[in-house]
Amino acid sequence: MAKVYYDDDADLSALAGQRVAVIGYGSQGHAHALNLQDSGVDVVVGLYKGSKSWEAAEQEDLRVETVENAVELGNLVMMLVPDQTQKRLYDEVVKPNLKPGSALMFAHGWGGYRVKPDLSNLKEIMDACYETTGQSTVIDVPVDADQVIGLNPRLNNLTTKTYL
């Protein structure tokens, strides 16, 4: 039987004094930013100049910055942009502005595939995703392994957190 977690089960002390940079303000970015803000976490939303989401985020009393600035300000950077955008955005904007010691989080669907803990099947999964959708994302992240967190919210039979 699945364990259900409630607000009282969360220990937000790990985020005390930290700032979370939410990159993107679509369905996932919007939800994560508002839930974190409602929980008392210091949040900054990173968007490109001219984004139609900029005003929407500000109307929710969220701090909004360019992606570059948000990454520089964040201790935990959450990449919540579409898969086909992530690699370019990471390579061109996030990677050059990521502070040493920051944590980096990705959210993906990966079309319902199960990633092995040692990542030995990652290429197979990315190839299969490309065949079915025409898109796959592989990002070379130059940080310590325990600083990269992947959330796979749409996968079946997978724990919520997969540490890459």
What's 33's domain CATH number?
A: 3.40.50.720
In a domain, 151, yes or no: yes
Check whether 147 has a pLDDT greater than 60: no
Q: Is the C-alpha dihedral spanning 141, 14, 54, 107 positive or negative?
A: positive
Q: Does the structure show a pLDDT above 50 at 65? A: yes
Q: Report the pLDDT value the prediction gives residue 126, as an integer from 0 to 100.
A: 65
- pLDDT value for 119: 67
9: in domain = no
Split at pLDDT 50, 70, 90, the class of 24 is very high
Mean pLDDT of 41-57: 96
Q: Over 50: is that where the pLDDT of 76 sits?
A: yes
Residue 69 counted as domain residue:
yes
State the total domains in the chain: 1
Per-residue confidence (pLDDT) for residue 143, from 0 to 100 = 47
Structure tokens at 30: 């919007």
- What pLDDT does 13 receive? 86
Within-domain flag for 4: no
Residue 108: predicted pLDDT? 59
Q: Does a structural domain hold residue 118?
A: yes
Domain assignment present for residue 32? The answer is: yes
Enzyme catalytic residues:
108
Instruction: Give domain status of residue 130, yes or no.
Output: yes
**Which domain covers residue 111, as residue numbers?**
17-163
Report the share of the chain in percent with pLDDT over 90: 37
Question: 104 with 141: CB under 8 angstroms?
Answer: yes
Are residues 67 and 96 in contact, defined by beta-carbon separation less than 8 angstroms? no
Mean pLDDT within 74-86? 85
Sign, CA dihedral 136-146-27-49, equals negative
Give the residue, 49 or 157, on which the prediction is more confident. 49
In this prediction, residue 49 carries a pLDDT of 93
